[in-house]
Amino acid sequence: MGSTYKLVGIKNQSRTLNISRTDYTENLCPTLLSNTSSSPNLLISNSDHVEVTLYYGCPSPTPPGFSAQFTCKSNNTDMTGYFVTVNNYVLSMTAPSLITYLTTCNNSVKVLVRQLALVSLLQNPNATQLLGAINEGFDLDLLMGLGNYGLLWVHQ
């Protein structure tokens, strides 16, 4: 089962929809862990977003100096999760011990955030900033294929 999204806004000028995930509206602890994705036949995302990876079910102790974390409650037990804003290749080159640690976590989820929201998140990497960046959403160009008839911009 995939993720569900809510419409945050419509930009008629640029023909984009701004959407955000519904499972991260209240907190960073959804009941179902799934990556942000789009149907390749319907939605084509624009380039104004970046991927953030959230890690769940990570073992103790916390890596020293790693502050990009959040807390989730699972079965009345607090567990610490982490997030990174670079891909695994970059992380393996800059912080190999951190990537080794993160591979021991039970789950990871990729979410999309706007590049501008990422700037704020990098300046203050905490759970509140992360949740705000996710809820700000990301933009999609919505196109529908019509075979030989070309493409149709679908809007409300």
Q: Does residue 41 surpass a pLDDT of 70? A: no
- pLDDT mean over 13-25: 84
Cβ contact 83:130 at 8 Å: yes
Task: Tell me the residue range of the domain where 113 lies.
Answer: 5-24+32-153
Range with lowest mean pLDDT among 7-11, 17-21, 71-75, 136-140: 71-75
Residue 79, CA atoms < 13 Å, CB-side half-sphere: 17
What was the pLDDT predicted at 142? 66
Number of domains in the chain: 1
Q: Does residue 94 surpass a pLDDT of 90? A: no
Q: Does residue 131 surpass a pLDDT of 80? A: yes
